[in-house]
Structure 1
Amino acid sequence: MRQSSSPAAPTATPAPYAERLGLPWWAWPAGLAVAGLLAAELWLGATGFRAWLPFVLLIPATVAALAWLGRIRVAVRDGELLVDDARLPVRHVADAVPLDAAGRREVLGVGADPLAFVVQRPWVGGAVQVVLDDPADPTPFWVVSTRHPVELAAALLAARDAA
């Protein structure tokens, strides 16, 4: 979800960017169906309390796993790029390059830099490559999945220019 300020009220700071990299809607019924089928398979071979134990354990565990997979948040605010628990001050951003699925595949492919910081979600098509300019950090760039690569890159560059 992107947040922007009202067009009637000009601000001195750039509009913050925030997004949650949740799972697509179809992953929830598919995951629950697989958990239900597995629980039913285990149910067939047990009797009594043990017959219902797979349902009691597998369905909530699947819900927790699906919620955990969609927990990553990407935000630009207060002069930082926030990706889950990682923080990058925007003063260290040299450039932000929006990538489509093919560009992301090329950056993360065979010739990928092993020192790069990568937060990639396969169900999110786009990404942003954030090139760093910090002599004290051996990380050459970050690659961050996002559904809105152009907006994230613009928010990063605007925050860097404002800092």
Structure 2
Amino acid sequence: MPWWWWPVGFLTAGVAAAELGMGVSEELSWLPYAITGLVVVAGLLWLGRLRVAVRGSELLVDDARLPVRFVTDAIPLDVNGRRELLGVSADPMAFVVVRPWVAGAVQIVLDDPDDPTPYWVVSSRRPQRLASALLAAAGRE
């Protein structure tokens, strides 16, 4: 996630804690700050938790798994390519996992006769590296 979410989150937590702390005794005045601070840390860590990896013969995207034997191509996308692919030319059957704060992505073209999904679009900070790893695991490089 963007670095600036952390200061904004803590500023918001501070304001909320100040409001909540108005009715708290002096001995416990630190408690609203501790609680809202922990909530912000947990929330921001949860938002940035998505992991994308090629392990063995599978692509793992959070809890989704794709056997690489169905991958026919992996195309790295820059921000403009991602915008075009997810815009007017988007296929409604595509599997999409994108994070708006990540500029790059990979289009993973599939050939699975039992699955109507034509491709996956996955955000990646290193789209070239992910595409190369996918093609190598699929034996297409």
Quickly name the TM-score band, shorter chain normalised.
0.7 to 0.9
Seq. identity, %: 64
**Deviation for aligned residue 1:138:** 1.4
Cα distance in 2 between the residues matched to 1:88 and 1:146:
16
Alignment RMSD (CA, Å): 1.9
For residue 124 of structure 2, what is the aligned residue in structure 1?
A: 146
One of 54, 57, 72 as aligned partner of 2:35: 57
Q: Distance in 2 between matches of 1:43 and 1:98?
A: 49
The one-character-per-residue Cα deviations of 1:22-61 (angstroms, maximum 9, x if unpaired) are x2333222211221122223334x2438865542432211
More moved, 144-153 vs 30-39: 30-39
Output the CA distance in 2 between the equivalents of 1:112 and 1:54.
Answer: 46
Aligned match of 1:17: none
Q: Indicate the residue corresponding to 1:35 in structure 2.
A: 13
Cα distance in 2, alignment partners of residues 43 and 109 from structure 1:
46
Which runs of no fewer than 5 residues in structure 1 stay unpaired? 1-22
Match of 2:44 among 66, 70, 75: 66
Matches within 5 A, 1:6-155: 23-44=1-22, 46-48=23-25, 54-155=32-133
Which segment drifts farther, 32-41 or 71-80? 32-41
Structure 2 unpaired stretches of 5+: none
CA distance in 2, matches of 1:66, 1:106: 29
Q: Distance in 2 between matches of 1:140 and 1:54?
A: 49
Q: Distance in 2 between matches of 1:109 and 1:54?
A: 43
Structure 1 segments of 4+ aligned residues over 4 angstroms from their partners:
49-53
Q: Judge conservation of contact 1:42–1:51 (CA < 8 Å) in 2.
A: no
CA displacement, residues 53-78 of structure 1 (integer Å, 9 cap, x when unaligned) = 54243221111110101111111121
> Normalized against structure 1, the TM-score is what?
0.77
Change in CA separation of 1:77 and 1:47 when aligned onto 2, cut-off 3 Å: closer
Write 1 or 2 for the structure with the bigger share of helix.
Answer: 2
Count of residues in correspondence between the two structures:
139
